Amino acid sequence: MTSIDLGMPTTPSPTLAERRKTRQIRVGKVLVGGDAPVSVQSMTTTPTTDVNATLQQIAELTATGCDIVRVAVPSQDDAEALPTIARKSQIPVIADIHFQPKYVFAAIDAGCAAVRVNPGNIRKFDDQVKEISRAAADAGVSIRIGVNAGSLDPRLLQKYGKPTAEALVESALWEASLFEEHDFRDFKISVKHHDPVVMVRAYELLAEQCDYPLHLGVTEAGPAFQGTIKSAVAFGALLSKGIGDTIRVSLSAPPAEEVKVGIKILESLNLRPRKLEIVSCPSCGRAQVDVYTLAEEVTAGLEGMEVPLRVAVMGCVVNGPGEAREADLGVASGNGKGQIFVKGEVVKTVPESQIVETLIDEAMRIAEDLKGAGVPSGTPEVVVR
């Protein structure tokens, strides 16, 4: 077999804009803001009181690539589950607090890495800021000021008539100023809205007026298909201008799906090293193989691949050889056969029935070679065109 140049990565892939300069805070072992990579968050859906189920879900999220996890704390029983969850979770745990300020203190005592507060619905929140600031500072715990269109401070709702971008930002900056009064600045801010247009505008306004790290989210984005699109559009609009330090994709779907979408959004913008990337054609009347099935089977067969790999799955000879040649690995199909390319060279031609297994075998071989060559997992492959 001819030797193939596997191509060591050289320079980082370009991004669309420089990251906005923000203060850096710590969420447990994860840094947020400053020059820290944009992190991906999700939230458990298990009852927090069910410690085993919650830890199991956190383990799944961790395996999927989640950096930070949030758990709901709606009751005393949930608060009492926090110490075990915080201690046993592999990734930092944020306690999500609404209505009851006493759970903020419980979460800090429990060893949570951070606390999310929703100033709009915490009773007498303004009176509590001094105590919260002191407790958080003493414990090294950061806070998210999580303003949400659905639970905006009633005073601002009255002033603006509805949760406009300006209303969300005014609420967030007001609460930030209360923390600042007590010399506490270890917080990030979110101003979530279900409408990506309002949400983007709110974050743009906020980014102009403060240097706190921003947690991006389109709230109640919807089921997986709609929520993925809304989040990708909104996050893309902001991240492409350098706005956003940590993200949470909200889907009416299992939380691991949120993490996968979040990671893909970041990878697409070169904000996170790309791992497996399938370049597959949409198919058309010229296709000589079942491209959809082929692409799905290759994707499934390579799921979890830890090294950067671009795999082209193409349906015919129009763009097939060109794309397959540009990728690390590819197939150009035609006449019931597939030409298998590795790093631009045809290494073999196989019958259609063997395309998937051949691609997977070759991918595994490349992965082993890359690991042997010391390419760190997830290091982006730079393709010079």
Provide the binding-site residues for ligand SF4, judged by CB under 6 A.
Answer: 281-284, 286-287, 314-316, 318-320
Nearer to ligand SF4 among residue 80 and residue 290 (C-beta): 290
H or E, element range at 82: helix 76-88
3-state SS, residue 226 = helix
Structure tokens of 313? Answer: 């799955």
Nearer to ligand SF4 among residue 36 and residue 312 (C-beta): 312
Nearer to ligand SF4 among residue 119 and residue 334 (C-beta): 334
Least distance (Å) from ligand SF4 to the CB of residue 242? 34
* CA–CA separation, 301 and 319 (whole Å): 24
Least distance (Å) from ligand SF4 to the CB of residue 301? 20
Least distance (Å) from ligand SF4 to the CB of residue 284? 3
**Residue 281 to residues 159, 311, 336, 355, Cα–Cα distance (Å):** 51, 11, 17, 16
Nearer to ligand SF4 among residue 311 and residue 316 (C-beta): 316
Cβ(279)–Cβ(256) below 8 Å: no
Nearer to ligand SF4 among residue 63 and residue 284 (C-beta): 284
Nearer to ligand SF4 among residue 134 and residue 286 (C-beta): 286
* CA–CA separation, 71 and 93 (whole Å): 7
Least distance (Å) from ligand SF4 to the CB of residue 317? 7
Cβ(42)–Cβ(258) below 8 Å: yes
Least distance (Å) from ligand SF4 to the CB of residue 303? 23
Least distance (Å) from ligand SF4 to the CB of residue 334? 9
Q: Who contacts 344 (Cβ-Cβ below 8 Å, separation ≥6)?
A: 325, 326
Residues across the chain: 385
* CA–CA separation, 17 and 70 (whole Å): 29
Helix 224-239 to helix 196-209 angle (10° resolution) is 30
Q: What are phi and psi of 34, to 5 degrees?
A: 65, -135
Cβ(340)–Cβ(328) below 8 Å: no
Least distance (Å) from ligand SF4 to the CB of residue 360? 21
Nearer to ligand SF4 among residue 100 and residue 319 (C-beta): 319
Structure tokens of 80? Answer: 């009492």
Amino acid 70 reads R
Least distance (Å) from ligand SF4 to the CB of residue 282? 5
Structure tokens of 153? Answer: 């401070």
Least distance (Å) from ligand SF4 to the CB of residue 294? 11
* CA–CA separation, 155 and 141 (whole Å): 29
Nearer to ligand SF4 among residue 224 and residue 318 (C-beta): 318
Structure tokens of 242? Answer: 């350098």
Nearer to ligand SF4 among residue 84 and residue 319 (C-beta): 319
Nearer to ligand SF4 among residue 216 and residue 281 (C-beta): 281
**DSSP one-letter code for 12:** P
Least distance (Å) from ligand SF4 to the CB of residue 285? 7
Cβ(114)–Cβ(142) below 8 Å: yes
* Helices (H), ranges, 111-223: 125-139, 154-160, 165-181, 196-209
